[in-house]
């Protein structure tokens, strides 16, 4: 199937987004815009040492500084709060918002100063005297596995936090059957995602009502539960204001440390307390760093390019405090073999701790490094066999008539037509002309390359992958909810239960509700309930909101519509099956004059109990709490097989790059992308996600790295050294859509928030390697920085001349 799955009234139509109006008018309301009377400000004291014992902290001078109210240390906070949540089963790895006894990375917060302004707080923070005893640090990823490595958490006894091995399908038999094998290494550098807004939070404790109000720039599941666990107060004493606009997140807006610090201080001091990270706080000590991964891979394949199996070891350096970061080794199990027809896979997942800033979830939750690892291997097999890279992919891609397709790990891909999307992308790129352009550039002495990457985007979420890494996490739901009301004037209000961080959820809900109810989405109000009033939510992560929140919206709207049909039928004196609804009018089928308008039914529902069907509940309000569609809701079986994510979007990326052989500088000159995320809800939002995600991926491929020296000193603590691509570095992106609706969702929609980022690193790396291929160079470490590329070129030329 191609094109749109159905002829929608609002869905898939190019319509204005609901949120943009306030942002364009400068009327967003972000955490830093929250002004609570009497609010005090926090500045942080950070350790300059990668690893050091904290011998003493003297706050005397800081407390004498003007406007200072308190200096909080790790010892005090640890005595009064419970450790923060770790995803892994590592009871001896205790994580507190401020260092306790030992600083475990350069930039770790050791004290928090509260003052009348951030200026005064920073002045006082400089006066806090900390006596450190510096110690050797655990830094280099492979050395972390060695028994003589310095221990980040001595109580844990090892730097290995978890090591799990899995074997899905007949791995050894497939290897034995295969004619060839190829072993390679791929290295994903410590990069992340950088929202324009850093994390910010304001906490206020009301001792009379016993309510902790929290306004935060948050995107995290179970936020209030984690606050409650740490502070030891009931979850129903915490009110998280979900109507705060979040200035971008892409996974990293976790902020639990910041929140516990401000909430504790607000209760202790009896004053509202705010902590707005500056960029220095954010990049070294905040929730900023993403996966840092070393893959060792062996592929088994035949001479014709048929790839049968993969043995994979992934080491992930999660930094000093694991949080949810290590679980990013688990999610990719849902698409561990990518869009390819491998019949078995062996996976060893190793999570190691180091004296670096702790890892947090980043867009795709580990899938982008995984896709890069897979696509690197596909290109290497093509090069080894002398088969065209596109042809090799065509031979191995799952075919459209094979869906639903079950991969060895137990997940069934819902739908797709990978060959069609690839063909559309190639047509959009004008591939033959692109090859001619590349070859002409090469003939003129330049280095030029075309990248090819196929990219799977799992969408919908499902916590159960966590259980594969930590048996104690038996969480088999990952719900999202929508509450919908039609008031007595007929106006529709939909309530979501979480914050939104730029994904356009208000547009999503209004569009789907409008479609289901045949009401203009512009007239539908969408609000964010605070956490005390909200229905259950797991927050807008995992490319899941179109799928799960969209599904809940459809469900709630369908219930509303069904109830209105019932009221209409009762008042028109016919059976429900004879009532039709169209664009605001309920009428008897075949007798359009016998009708009731939308507003009349709303009025009846709210005011005229005597006209309601017997037993009907008055008024018009319905809700839906939706489990992940397609999930079994069970634990993995004894073979560790389980359906993880429900929906699988697909993209084909085709960038064109040229490299200056004298400087190693890469220019991405062209970029074509074909994408299929099922039914598109709003085309502008999907395109925005693709282009933004792609730019994010170009950064990971060429520029972005949180770098450390051999002693563990952090080197990339500002935008001078952590290089984000700007608009100059991103070419005009051309995209073409394809649509294979998901059979698992309410309108056929799938996820679209991650795909650009999940494909671009692999695609740009592929293009760089294509450009370097004539020199016999192949690189597999990201980011591919200009000096590394130039050094490889120089080395090759020296070899040849020597």
Partner 1 sequence: MKAAEFDYIRADSVAAACAALAAAGPGEERKIIAGGQTLVPLMAMRLARPALLVDIDGIPGLDGIEARDSYVAIGAMTRQRAAELSPAVRDAVPLLARALRFVGHVQTRNRGTVGGSLVHGDPSAEIPLAAVALDAELEAEATGGKRTYAAASFFEGPMVTAIAPDECLVEARFPVWNGGRIGAGFQEVASRRGDFAIVAAAAQVALDGGGTCTRIAAALGGVAPGPVRIAALEDALAGTRLEDGAIDAALASVGGAIEPDDDLHATAAYRGRVAEVLLGRAIREARDEARA
Contact set with partner 1 (CB under 8 A): 118-119, 122-123, 126, 278-280, 660, 662-665, 703, 707, 715-716, 718, 720-721, 723, 725-726, 728-729, 785-787, 790-791, 794
Cβ distance to partner 1 smaller for residue 641 or 667: 667
Cβ distance to partner 1 smaller for residue 165 or 726: 726
Q: What is the dihedral of CA 149, 152, 155, 156, to 10 degrees?
A: -80
Cβ distance to partner 1 smaller for residue 277 or 516: 277
Q: Is 703 left (phi over 0), alpha (psi -120 to 50) or beta?
A: alpha
**To the nearest whole angstrom, how small is the minimum distance from the Cβ of residue 147 to partner 1?**
31
**To the nearest whole angstrom, how small is the minimum distance from the Cβ of residue 123 to partner 1?**
7
**To the nearest whole angstrom, how small is the minimum distance from the Cβ of residue 200 to partner 1?**
13
Report the distance separating Cα 575 and Cα 562, nearest Å.
Answer: 13
Report the distance separating Cα 382 and Cα 154, nearest Å.
Answer: 46
Cβ distance to partner 1 smaller for residue 50 or 636: 50
Report the distance separating Cα 452 and Cα 759, nearest Å.
Answer: 9
The answer to whether the CB of 459 falls within 8 A of the CB of 750 is: yes
Helix (H) or strand (E) holding 458: strand 453-459
**To the nearest whole angstrom, how small is the minimum distance from the Cβ of residue 210 to partner 1?**
34
**To the nearest whole angstrom, how small is the minimum distance from the Cβ of residue 291 to partner 1?**
21
- Torsions phi, psi for 449 (to 5 deg): -150, 150
**To the nearest whole angstrom, how small is the minimum distance from the Cβ of residue 280 to partner 1?**
6
Cβ distance to partner 1 smaller for residue 288 or 373: 288
Strands, E, within 238-317: which ranges?
238-240, 273-276, 293-301, 307-317
Cβ distance to partner 1 smaller for residue 356 or 785: 785
**To the nearest whole angstrom, how small is the minimum distance from the Cβ of residue 580 to partner 1?**
58
What's the 3-state SS for 51-118?
CEEEEEEECHHHHHCCCEEEEEEHHHHHHHCCCCCCCCCCCCCCCCCCCCCEECCCCCEEEEEEECCH
Of 488, 522, 513, 449, residue with least CA distance to 789: 449
**To the nearest whole angstrom, how small is the minimum distance from the Cβ of residue 66 to partner 1?**
10
Report the distance separating Cα 132 and Cα 150, nearest Å.
Answer: 17
Token duo for residue 294: 């070393």
**To the nearest whole angstrom, how small is the minimum distance from the Cβ of residue 56 to partner 1?**
24
Cβ distance to partner 1 smaller for residue 177 or 797: 797
The answer to whether the CB of 359 falls within 8 A of the CB of 292 is: yes
Is 556 exposed, middle or buried (CB count within 10 Å of its CB: 0-12, 13-18, 19+)? buried
Report the distance separating Cα 585 and Cα 601, nearest Å.
Answer: 10
Cβ distance to partner 1 smaller for residue 124 or 345: 124
- Torsions phi, psi for 255 (to 5 deg): 60, 20
Q: Which residues pair with 445 in a beta bridge?
A: none
Cβ distance to partner 1 smaller for residue 684 or 790: 790
The answer to whether the CB of 565 falls within 8 A of the CB of 579 is: yes
Cβ distance to partner 1 smaller for residue 433 or 720: 720
**To the nearest whole angstrom, how small is the minimum distance from the Cβ of residue 122 to partner 1?**
5
């Amino acid at each position: 199937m191609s094109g749109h799955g159905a002829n929608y009234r609002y869905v898939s139509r190019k319509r204005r987004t609901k949120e943009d109006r306030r942002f364009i008018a400068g009327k967003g309301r972000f955490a830093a815009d929250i002004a609570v009377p009497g609010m005090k400000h926090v500045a942080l004291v950070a350790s300059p040492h990668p690893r050091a014992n904290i011998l003493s902290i003297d706050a005397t001078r800081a407390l004498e500084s003007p406007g200072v109210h308190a200096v909080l240390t790790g010892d005090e906070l640890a005595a009064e709060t419970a450790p923060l949540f770790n995803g892994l089963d590592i009871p001896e790895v205790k994580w507190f918002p401020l260092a306790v006894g030992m600083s475990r990375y350069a930039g770790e917060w050791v004290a928090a100063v509260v003052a009348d302004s951030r200026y005064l707080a920073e002045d006082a923070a400089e006066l806090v005297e900390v006596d450190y005893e510096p110690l050797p640090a655990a830094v280099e990823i492979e050395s972390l596995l060695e028994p003589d490595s310095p221990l980040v958490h001595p109580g844990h006894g090892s730097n290995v936090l978890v090591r799990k091995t899995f074997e899905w399908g007949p791995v050894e038999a497939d290897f034995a059957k295969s004619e060839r094998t190829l072993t390679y290494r791929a290295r994903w550098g410590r990069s992340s995602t950088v929202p324009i807004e850093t994390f910010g939070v304001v906490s206020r404790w009301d001792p009379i009502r016993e309510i902790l109000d929290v306004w935060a720039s948050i995107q995290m599941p179970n936020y209030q539960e984690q606050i409650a666990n740490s502070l030891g107060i009931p979850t129903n004493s915490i009110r998280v204001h979900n109507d705060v606009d979040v200035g971008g997140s892409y996974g990293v807006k976790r902020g639990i440390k910041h929140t516990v610090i401000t909430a504790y201080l607000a209760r202790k001091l009896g004053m509202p307390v705010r902590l707005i990270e500056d960029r220095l706080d954010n990049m070294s000590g905040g929730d900023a760093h993403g996966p840092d991964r070393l893959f060792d891979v062996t592929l088994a394949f035949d001479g014709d390019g048929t790839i049968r199996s993969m043995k994979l070891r992934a080491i992930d350096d999660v930094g000093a405090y694991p949080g949810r970061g290590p679980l990013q080794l688990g999610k990719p199990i849902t698409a561990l073999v990518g869009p390819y027809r491998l019949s078995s896979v062996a996976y060893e997942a190793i999570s190691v701790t180091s004296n670096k800033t702790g890892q947090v979830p980043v867009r795709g939750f580990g899938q982008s490094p995984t896709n890069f690892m897979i696509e690197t291997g596909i290109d290497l097999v093509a090069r080894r066999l002398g088969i065209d890279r596109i042809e090799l992919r065509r031979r191995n891609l799952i075919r459209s008539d094979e869906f639903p397709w079950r991969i060895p790990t137990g997940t069934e891909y819902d739908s797709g037509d990978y060959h069609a999307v690839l063909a559309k992308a190639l047509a959009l790129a004008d591939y033959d002309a692109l090859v001619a352009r590349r070859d002409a550039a090469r003939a003129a002495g330049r280095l030029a390359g075309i990248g090819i990457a196929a990219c799977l985007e799992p969408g919908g979420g499902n916590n159960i992958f966590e259980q594969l890494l930590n048996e104690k996490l038996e969480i088999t739901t990952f719900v999202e909810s929508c509450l919908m009301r039609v008031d007595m004037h007929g106006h529709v209000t939909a309530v979501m239960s979480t914050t939104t961080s730029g994904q356009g959820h208000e547009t999503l809900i209004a569009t789907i509700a409008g479609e289901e109810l045949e009401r203009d989405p512009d007239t539908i109000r969408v609000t964010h309930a605070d956490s005390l009033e909200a229905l259950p939510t797991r927050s807008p992560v995992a490319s899941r909101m179109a799928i799960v929140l969209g599904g809940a919206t459809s469900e709630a709207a369908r219930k509303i519509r069904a109830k209105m049909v019932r009221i209409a039928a009762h008042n028109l004196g016919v059976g429900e099956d004879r009532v039709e609804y169209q664009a605001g009018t309920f009428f008897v089928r075949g007798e359009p004059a016998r009708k009731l308008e939308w507003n009349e039914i709303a009025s009846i529902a709210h005011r005229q109990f005597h006209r309601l069907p017997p037993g009907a509940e008055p008024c018009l309000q319905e809700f839906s709490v939706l489990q992940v569609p397609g999930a079994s809701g069970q634990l993995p079986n004894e073979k560790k097989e389980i359906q993880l994510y429900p929906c699988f979007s697909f993209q084909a990326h085709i960038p064109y790059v040229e490299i200056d052989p004298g400087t190693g500088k890469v220019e991405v000159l062209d970029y074509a992308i074909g994408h299929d995320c099922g039914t598109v809800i709003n085309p502008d939002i999907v395109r925005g996600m693709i282009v933004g995600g792609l730019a994010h991926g170009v950064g990971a491929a060429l520029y972005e790295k949180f770098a450390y020296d051999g002693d563990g000193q952090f080197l990339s603590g500002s935008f001078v050294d952590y290089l984000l691509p700007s608009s100059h570095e991103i070419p005009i992106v051309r995209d073409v859509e394809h649509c294979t609706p998901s059979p698992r969702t309410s309108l056929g929609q799938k996820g679209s928030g991650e795909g650009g980022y999940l494909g671009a690193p692999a695609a740009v790396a592929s293009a760089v390697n294509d450009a370097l291929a004539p020199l016999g160079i192949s690189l597999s470490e990201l980011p591919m920085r200009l000096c590394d590329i130039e050094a490889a070129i120089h080395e090759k030329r020296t070899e040849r001349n020597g």
